[in-house]
């Protein structure tokens, strides 16, 4: 047991990575075994991450120096040269949500993807995405952040183009990979700027010696814009609708968490690496502006979509805006102790809670869209109708997801949005009013989807449609359960996960202290 | 003082970026990202260069003060990653060409 916790950070990355490369071999023995293998490996990863998180939440930051005889020896001879994995409460929270969604998606895919060819590659890439996400959130090294970011874009780009029979998926994947590759190269350029000045790569050590020269500020701008691009904030949102729309449905649900892993990188860089900079509140304001733009433009673009997946993709952009707004307000007042304790902290907690909630209700909505596509074979809202007669359980799940994304009680979207509304209102009432307005528009847009897909008389062309298989229902049911749980008992999540994560972001000295 | 390699790096990066943004041919866009990657590799190598430094090979080094090989290690890693990404983007370009018979990015758009 203590072995798993001690080597947890490395194991959590290594297990899915090894499993990914073993998948093509195992699928020679049959499809059922391959699916069992993928689910089991992800479940094992989840167990490792849960054990690691429990240890991190009870006993503080855990570092792991790769290749060292003692894993905690990060600076042999007083010089931080080792490649370091560093897990604090924030990384643990992101790790938990990434693996859980990946596991549920894998269970869902065992049914959904059954009729397609090339599934050994599908599961291998799914495991690889998980590994890359965990690497991105656990790494304590800037260069590794770049490596995992590239691994993430390569593996998810390949999955976006999974349907090779048509041209559009390849087109979307080309766009996605070109944009991610250029963004990742800008990250590498920023890493070069920092390394050239301080001869350091470890985030903790760099944060300790950073002088905030002009070059450092250029590096910060490069990092922030690259990560904002990767998480799909307006005005860098052009790839989101294509990639989310054309990818297979299970992959889309994973892409939501992939975007949030880059959001994590954005928060990590601006809070931990540059947290001590006197003018960091400028970045907070930049996040607020990006957030407001994403919220409003995302939801207005969603209003006119006919394709159910593209519509949900635009809503994903809009919801990312809430996280940027919440955390941005916290970052904007980081220098002001009074404001930070009265509403800044709550704003950050709301933003981070929304990350978790968004991954769950957006995952659920995409999976219900998948259930519709699985049974009817179309994504066009104008061709759908009357599905509530044949698919009652899916309809219930869709209603849960819809009310949650619109921020209605008692679902989890409400618990995080109310934290954001309240704290942002104390910062600036106008911003809060925009956020509430966007929620109303979101509800309006989803009511349209609900009406055109589920309500109405039973259609003749869908008379053979029935409820989706049980594996898909299980995956959706677990998500729906947690949505209601976090809606009824938000304190459960806030107290155990969110508050430690927000504190970990704000107390950068904890992160720095274990390295130097 | 700005030294020549750094200036060259910035010029090459801007060439690559302009290719990514303004070119219409998919293969040329891929070439653009490849050019940016090479420029950054050049940047890393020139950062690691020390006048009169000793290569960090223990058995062949004349004295024990050697250059820290981190930039070289970073460059190697980034070359490998760039290779993988370029190969993948080119294979997407091939699929797109098979479906549409053209590599012009203006010829088709995903449905709005």
Instruction: Decide if B80 is inside a domain.
Output: yes
pTM of the model: 0.94
Phi, psi angle pair for B104, to nearest 5°: -75, 130
> Cβ distance A80 to A515 under 8 Å?
yes
Residue contact A178–B20, C-beta within 8 A: yes
Q: pLDDT at position B92, please?
A: 94
Other beta carbons within 10 angstroms of residue B3's beta carbon come to 8
Q: What does the angle CA A87 – CA A91 – CA A97 come to, to the nearest 5 degrees?
A: 135
Q: Could you tell me if residue B92 is inside a domain?
A: yes
In a domain, B112, yes or no: yes
User: Of the candidates B40, B29, B38, B30, which has an alpha carbon nearest to the alpha carbon of residue B6?
Assistant: B40
Inspect the interface and report whether the beta carbons of B89 and A174 lie closer than 8 Å: yes
Question: How far is the CA of A127 from the CAs of A44, A178, A282, A339, in angstroms?
Answer: 12, 22, 38, 43
Interface residue of B69, B72, B110 to substitute, partner A, most A CBs within 10 Å: B110
What is the residue-wise DSSP string for A136-148?
A: HHHB-BHHHHHHH
Q: Is B74 on the interface with A (CB under 8 A)?
A: yes
Strands (E), B24-94: none
For chain B, report the end-to-end CA distance as a whole number of angstroms: 50
Q: What is the pLDDT of residue A179?
A: 93
Instruction: State the pLDDT at residue A236.
Output: 87
- In the predicted structure, residue A66 carries a pLDDT above the cut 90: no
Kindly state the percentage of chain A with pLDDT values over 90: 74
Domain count, chain B: 1
Report how far residue A303's alpha carbon sits from residue A301's, in angstroms, rounded to the nearest whole number: 5
pLDDT digits (tens, 9 = 90+) for A374-407: 999 899 998 898 899 889 999 999 999 999 999 9
pLDDT for B111: 47
Mutate to test the interface with B, among A67, A189, A243, A380 (most CBs of B within 10 A): A189
Backbone angles phi, psi at A69, to 5 degrees: -70, -35
In a domain, B62, yes or no: no
**What's the Cα-to-Cα distance from A41 to each of A29, A72, A99, A330, rounded to whole Å?**
17, 27, 11, 38
Task: Establish if B36 belongs to a structural domain.
Answer: yes
Each residue's pLDDT tens digit, A315-363: 999 999 999 999 999 999 988 888 888 999 999 999 999 999 999 999 9
pLDDT of res. A437:
94
Do A224 and A183 contact (CB within 8 A), yes or no? Answer: no
- Looking at residue B109, what is its pLDDT? 62
ipTM of the complex: 0.94
Range of the domain at B94: 10-45+70-112
B25 occurs within a structural domain: yes
Question: Does the structure show a pLDDT above 70 at B30?
Answer: yes
Q: Render pLDDT for A175-228 as a digit per residue (tens, 0 to 9).
A: 999 999 999 999 999 999 999 999 889 998 899 888 899 999 999 999 999 999
Whether residue B2 is predicted with pLDDT greater than 70 in this model: the reply is: no
- Predicted local distance difference test score (pLDDT) of residue B112: 42
Q: How many CB atoms lie within 10 A of CB A3?
A: 8
Residue B82's CATH number = 1.10.287.3510
What is the reported pLDDT for A417? 94
Q: What is the pLDDT of residues A277-325, one digit of tens each?
A: 888 899 999 999 999 999 999 999 998 888 999 999 999 999 999 999 9
Asked if B110's CB is within 8 angstroms of A171's CB, the reply is yes
Q: Write phi, then psi, for A85 (nearest 5 degrees).
A: -105, 135
B4 lies in some domain: no
CB contact under 8 A, A157 and B84: no
pLDDT at position B79, please? Answer: 95
Chain A neighbors of B20, CB-CB under 8 A: 178, 182
What average pLDDT does the segment A39-49 reach? Answer: 96
Name residues whose C-beta falls within 8 Å of residue A147's C-beta, 6 or more positions apart in sequence.
A135, B77, B81
Class of residue A278 by CB neighbours under 10 A (exposed 0-12, middle 13-18, buried 19+) = exposed
The pair of three-digit structure tokens given for residue A100, joined into one six-digit string = 């859980």
Selected residue of A80, A118, A171 to mutate for chain B interface (largest B Cβ count, 10 A): A171
Average the pLDDT over A443-470 and give the result.
Answer: 90
Q: What's the pLDDT band for A262 if we cut at 50, 70, 90? A: very high
Q: What is the mean pLDDT of chain A?
A: 92
| Residues 6 or more apart whose Cβ sits within 8 Å of residue A393 | A467, A473
**Is a pLDDT exceeding 90 seen at residue A71?**
no
Residues 6+ positions from A280 with CB-CB distance below 8 Å: A270, A274, A331, A334, A335
* Any domain includes B34: yes
């Amino acid at each position: 047991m203590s072995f798993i916790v001690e080597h947890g950070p490395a194991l959590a990355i290594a297990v899915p990575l090894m499993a990914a490369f073993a998948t093509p071999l195992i699928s020679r023995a049959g499809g059922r075994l391959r699916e069992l293998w993928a689910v089991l490996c992800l479940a094992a990863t989840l167990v490792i991450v849960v054990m690691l998180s429990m240890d991190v939440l009870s006993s503080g930051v855990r570092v792991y120096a790769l290749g060292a005889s003692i894993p905690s020896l990060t600076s042999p001879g007083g010089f931080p040269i080792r490649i370091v994995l560093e897990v604090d409460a924030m990384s643990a929270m992101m790790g938990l949500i990434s693996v859980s969604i990946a596991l549920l998606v894998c269970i869902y895919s065992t049914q959904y993807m059954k009729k397609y060819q090339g599934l050994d590659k599908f599961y291998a890439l799914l495991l690889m995405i998980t590994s890359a996400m965990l690497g991105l959130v656990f790494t304590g090294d800037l260069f590794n952040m770049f490596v995992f970011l590239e691994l993430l874009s390569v593996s998810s780009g390949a999955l976006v183009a999974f349907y090779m029979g048509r041209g559009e998926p390849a087109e979307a994947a080309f766009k996605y990979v070109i944009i991610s590759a250029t963004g990742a190269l800008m990250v590498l350029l920023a890493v070069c700027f920092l390394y050239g000045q301080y001869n350091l790569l470890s985030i903790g050590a760099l944060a300790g010696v950073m002088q905030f020269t002009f070059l450092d500020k250029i590096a910060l701008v490069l990092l922030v814009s690259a990560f904002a691009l990767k998480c799909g904030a307006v005005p860098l949102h052009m790839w989101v609708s294509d990639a989310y729309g054309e990818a297979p449905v299970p992959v889309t649900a994973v892409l939501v968490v992939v975007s949030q892993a880059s959001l994590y990188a954005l928060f990590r860089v601006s809070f931990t690496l540059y947290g001590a900079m006197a003018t960091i509140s400028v970045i907070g304001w930049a996040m607020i502006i990006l957030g407001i733009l994403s919220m409003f433009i995302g939801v207005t673009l969603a209003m006119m979509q006919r394709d159910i997946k593209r519509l949900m993709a635009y809503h994903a952009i809009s919801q990312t805006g809430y996280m940027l707004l919440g955390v941005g307000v916290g970052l904007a007042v980081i220098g002001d102790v009074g404001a930070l304790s009265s509403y800044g902290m709550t704003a950050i907690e709301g933003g981070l809670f929304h990350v978790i909630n968004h991954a769950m209700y957006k995952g659920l909505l995409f999976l219900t869209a998948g259930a519709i596509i699985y049974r009817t074979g179309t994504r066009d809202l104008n061709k759908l109708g009357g599905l509530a007669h044949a698919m009652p359980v899916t309809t219930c799940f869709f209603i849960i997801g819809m009310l949650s994304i619109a921020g209605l009680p008692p679902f989890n979207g409400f618990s995080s949005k109310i934290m954001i509304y309240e704290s942002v209102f104390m910062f600036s009432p106008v911003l809060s009013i925009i956020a509430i307005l966007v929620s109303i528009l979101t509800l309006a847009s989803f009511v349209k989807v609900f009406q055109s897909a589920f309500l109405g008389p039973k259609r003749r062309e869908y008379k053979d449609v029935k409820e989706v298989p049980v594996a898909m229902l299980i995956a959706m049911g677990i998500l729906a359960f947690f949505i209601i749980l976090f809606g009824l008992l938000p304190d459960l999540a806030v107290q155990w996960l969110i508050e430690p994560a927000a504190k970990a972001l704000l107390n950068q000295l904890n992160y720095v202290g274990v390295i130097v | 003082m700005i030294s020549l390699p750094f200036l060259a790096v910035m010029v090459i990066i801007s060439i690559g970026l302009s290719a990514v943004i303004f070119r219409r041919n998919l293969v040329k866009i891929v070439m653009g990202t490849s050019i940016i990657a090479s420029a950054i590799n050049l940047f890393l190598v020139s950062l690691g260069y020390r006048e009169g430094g000793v290569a960090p090979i223990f058995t062949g080094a004349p004295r024990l003060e050697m250059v820290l090989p981190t930039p070289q290690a970073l460059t190697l890693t980034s070359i490998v990653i760039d290779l993988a990404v370029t190969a993948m983007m080119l294979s997407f370009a091939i699929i797109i060409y098979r479906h549409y018979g053209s590599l012009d990015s203006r010829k088709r758009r995903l449905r709005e």
